[in-house]
Amino acid sequence: MEKSKFAQHPLENKYSIDSMDDIMEALHVNRKGELMIILERFYIYGETKLENQINDNCRVKSNIIFDTIIQNSTERGQLSPQPLVSP
């Protein structure tokens, strides 16, 4: 029986299984709205371009703005833009 990429990824990478507080961190703290949607799209886009997206059904369109942000962030030694915190 074949497993989905979502199931295979943690097994192949030997991720630890622990509480969410111990194994996850918030990238951004934000209110619901357009900024949150853009941030979600940005991170999904970036991970998909790196072929780290483990959702088999996720497809993204080319986005020149996201490409520019990723390129400029990588050139400065960052993996992503600095975290944003909205009031």
User: Confidence band (pLDDT; 50, 70, 90) for 29?
Assistant: confident
Closest CA to 85 of 36, 43, 47, 38: 36
- Measured distance CA(60)–CA(73) in Å, rounded: 20
> What pLDDT is stored for residue 25 in this prediction?
78
Say yes or no to pLDDT of 55 above 70: no
The percentage of the chain sitting over the pLDDT mark of 90, rounded to a whole number, equals 2
Q: How distant is the alpha carbon of residue 19 from its chain centre?
A: 20
What does pTM read for this prediction?
0.58
Q: How far apart are CA 67 and CA 70, in angstroms?
A: 5
pLDDT of residue 76: 55
pLDDT at 28 over 80: no
